[in-house]
Amino acid sequence: MLVRLGLMEQRHRAVLEVLGGAQVTDVARRYGVTRQTVHSWLKRYAGSGIAGLVDRSSRPERCPHQMRPEVIAQVLALRRARPSWGPRTIRHQLQRAGVEPLPGRSSIYRCLVRHGLIDPTKRRRRRGDYRRWERGRAMELWQMDIMGGVQLTDGSEFKIVTGLDDHSRYCVSALLVPRATARPVCEALAAALRRHGVPDQILTDNGKVFTNRFGPSRGEVLFDRICRENGIRHLLTAPRSPTTTGKVERFHKTVRSEFLRGRVFASLEEARAELNAWVTFYNTERPHQGIGMLSPRDRFSGTPSEDAWPLLPEEAPEWEPAEQSRDHGPRATRKVSVNGRMRLAGADYSVGRFLGGKMVEIEFGPDGLVNIFDHDVLVATLARKHRQEAEESALRRRQHGTGVQAQLGHPAVLRQVDSRGDLSFAGTAYRVGTAFAGTQVEVRLVKDAVQIWAAGKLIRTHLARHDKEKEHGAFGVRKGRPRKLKAS
């Protein structure tokens, strides 16, 4: 009759056989184990009797590399306080806190998985998959953009004009504005220039507040003008290519996950104060993985500039710079050809392709110099090529060849605003606004500005973008061209 023995009974019989004089090798062969296992049974039987033959856990009595409970508590506290921090950032914070021994990154990851703070099924990219491109020094390139998502308790939403230094990831601009129109965006840029200095280049997307690249006309927007006034090269991304400004886009993700997630602010002032405090923490304390766990301030070295283009006063038009206090003498006006050349007093001058198609003013300076001005800004100084007696003739051409409005005696012309909110003057479209669609407005020329009036009030002011030679025809049709009647 067969009897089924348990594991403890089999081990006990094997031990008794060895103690009765059997060979350890023969006993191990009959019971299907190794000699070392039989010797361990004998040792445990001698120390604890039959109770020593019970199954034991394979877990070691101690593990010198296991994280201490207080370290685990710190890891979990850091993760709960900053849900966006990963194992590497948490390890860096433990190192700064002086934790010894310092746990490895994989140990922290497994700890977070065990406590349900990381989903192990979520795909993780390998570190070798990332390719980082950055400029070699600070202040070489800024990336600027606009992000939304700042909610107030009254239901309104505000936007942030952001700017990031490409090399150091230093936040140079984080201005909270109700609407991201041209003026607030340019105010943010001017404030950043005065606070940190003038960079070599600025990279933006093709938004209308940044460029007129895809606009109805080829005029210069205010953002482009500030860049030109300060000698900054304005770079644009290709259409539908947000990865080109990847650093500032990644900064937006950080703002949303670490500052905006689940937050609603009581007022605009409160939101601005808390945003400024968070940006200070980001620039000075928060370690950045993209720059070797340094803070952005450790790699940034800006130089504040008092000569940066100033902010415009509230009563000035959006395009108009601060008034120039410098007095100047009589000037001649010429149009620069597309190849950057112009004809003056019987001589050819090269002023640069960047002025191609623009109207510039020429001032005859002392010592045989010719100064070229673009909207009262000195852009070039050339040696005189023409005969000096021809200067008087050039100035007379300025007086008789321009100022068409004064000759015709028409202070204003009427224009119809189309359904898109635009009007046409001298062959160029000027924006009025959809609120005035279908109405008649007055168009006036004041120096190089096109003013649009409605009901006796100034509603828009634009930098003149039209061809000066077409002004005569524009003022010749004061009330606009009559509408064509449809044949009945």
Question: In this structure, is residue 321 part of a structural domain?
Answer: no
pLDDT tens digits along 362-378: 887 766 778 887 766 66
Output the pLDDT for position 187: 92
| 310's tokens | 């100033």
Residue 465: name the closest of 384, 307, 359, 317 by CA. 359
Residue 257 has pLDDT above 50, yes or no: yes
- Domain residue limits at 378: 332-402
Residues 345 and 384 in one domain: yes
Residue 322 is assigned to a structural domain of this protein: no
Specify whether 198 is located in the same domain as 162. yes
Residue 488's pLDDT band, with cuts at 50, 70 and 90, is very low
User: Residue 48: phi, psi to the nearest 5?
Assistant: -125, 5
Residue 323 has a pLDDT of 36
Pairing relationship of beta strands 141-151 and 201-204 according to DSSP bridges:
parallel
* Predicted confidence (pLDDT) at residue 141 exceeds the cutoff of 90: yes
Find the mean pLDDT for residues 101-130.
82
Q: What is the pLDDT of residue 318?
A: 40
Q: Alpha-carbon distance 439 to 454, whole Å?
A: 9
Residue 65 to residues 54, 68, 80, 114, 480, Cα–Cα distance (Å) = 29, 9, 24, 17, 86
Residues 209 and 183 in one domain: yes
- In whole angstroms, give the CA distance from residue 473 to residue 459: 24
- CATH number for the domain spanning 294: value is 3.30.420.10
- Residue among 444, 343, 354 at smallest CA distance from 401: 343
For 166-185, write each residue's pLDDT tens digit: 999 999 999 999 988 999 99
How far is C-alpha 166 from the chain's CA centre? 9
Confidence of residue 121 (pLDDT cuts 50, 70, 90): confident
The domain total for the chain is 5
State yes or no: pLDDT of 272 exceeds 70: yes
pLDDT at 365: 72
Residue 197 lies inside a defined structural domain of this protein = yes
| Together in a domain, 115 and 234 | no
Q: Decide if 219 is inside a domain.
A: yes
Token couple for 205: 């997307």
Whole-number average pLDDT of the chain = 81
Total residues found in the chain within this entry: 488
- pLDDT greater at residue 76 or residue 412: 76
**Mean pLDDT, range 46-66, rounded to an integer:** 82
210-220 mean pLDDT: 78
Same domain, 243 and 284: yes
| Whole-number pLDDT of residue 165 | 95
In a domain, 237, yes or no: yes
Three-state SS string across the chain, please? CCCCCCHHHHHHHHHHHHHCCCCHHHHHHHHCCCHHHHHHHHHHHHHHHHHHHCCCCCCCCCCCCCCCHHHHHHHHHHHHHCCCCCHHHHHHHHHHCCCCCCCCHHHHHHHHHHCCCCCCCCCCCCHHHCCCCCCCCCCCEEEEEEEEEEEECCCCEEEEEEEEECCCCCEEEEEEECCCCHHHHHHHHHHHHHHHCCCCEEEECCCCCCCCCCCCCCCCCHHHHHHHHCCCEEEECCCCCHHHHHHHHHHHHHHHHHHHCCCCECCHHHHHHHHHHHHHHHHHCCCEHHHCCECHHHHCCCCCCCCCCCCCCCCCCCCCCCCCCCCCCCCEEEECCCCCEEEECCEEEECCHHHCCCEEEEEECCCCEEEEEECCEEEEEEECCCCHHHHHHHHHHHHHHCCHHHHHCCCCEEEECCCCCEEEECCEEEECCHHHCCCEEEEEEECCEEEEEECCEEEEEEECCCCHHHHHHHHHCCCCCCCCCCCC
Q: Are 404 and 472 in contact (CB under 8 A)?
A: yes
Answer whether residue 472 shows pLDDT above 80.
Answer: no
Is the pLDDT at 29 greater than 90, yes or no? yes
% of the chain surpassing 90 pLDDT: 32
pTM over 0.75: no
- Which conformational region is residue 32 in: left (phi greater than 0), alpha (psi within -120 to 50 degrees), or beta? left
Q: Is the pLDDT of residue 5 over 70?
A: no
Is residue 374 domain-resident?
yes
What's the pLDDT band for 396 if we cut at 50, 70, 90? Answer: low
- On whether both 145 and 266 belong to a single domain, the answer is yes
The answer to whether 201 touches 235, Cβ cutoff 8 Å, is yes
How high is the pLDDT of residue 312?
A: 47
What does the alpha-carbon distance between residue 41 and residue 25 come to, in Å, rounded to a whole number? 14
Q: Select, from the ranges 163-177, 235-249, 283-297, 392-406, the one with the highest average predicted confidence (pLDDT).
A: 163-177
Same domain, 292 and 153: yes
**371 phi/psi in degrees, rounded to 5:** -100, 130
Beta bridge partners of 457: 454
Residues 165 and 274 placed together within one structural domain of the fold: yes
**195 & 256 share domain:** yes
**pLDDT at residue 450, as a whole number:** 83
Between CA 205 and CA 242 the distance in angstroms is 8
Distance CA 394, CA 414 (A): 33
Exposed (0-12), middle (13-18) or buried (19+): which is 297, by Cβ within 10 Å?
middle
pLDDT grade, residue 403 (50/70/90)? very low
Question: What value does the mean pLDDT take over residues 96-111?
Answer: 90
Max avg pLDDT among 6-15, 200-209, 371-380, 438-447: 200-209
What is the pLDDT at residue 162? 96
> Is residue 314 situated within a structural domain?
no
Q: Which residues pair with 416 in a beta bridge?
A: 440
Q: Which of 217-231, 266-280, 340-354, 382-396 has the lowest mean pLDDT?
A: 382-396
With beta carbons less than 8 A apart as the criterion, state whether 161 and 185 touch: yes
Q: Are 378 and 331 a contacting pair, CB within 8 Å?
A: no
Residue 193 pLDDT class (50, 70, 90 cuts):
very high
User: What's the pLDDT score for residue 309?
Assistant: 47
- Greater confidence, 443 or 304? 443
pLDDT at 320: 37
- Identify the pLDDT of residue 366: 67
Higher pLDDT, 316 or 333: 333
Asked whether residue 131 carries a pLDDT value surpassing 70, the answer given is no
Same domain, 114 and 146: no
**Are residue 436 and residue 360 in the same domain, yes or no?**
no
Work out the pLDDT band at 317, boundaries 50, 70, 90. Answer: very low
| pLDDT of the residue at 485 | 47
**The predicted structure's pLDDT at residue 220:** 82
Same domain, 152 and 191: yes
Q: Does a structural domain hold residue 264?
A: yes
pLDDT for 125 = 63
Contact 200, 302 (CB under 8 A): no
Q: Are 351 and 383 in contact (CB under 8 A)?
A: no
Nearest to 333 by CA among 447, 428, 222, 461: 447
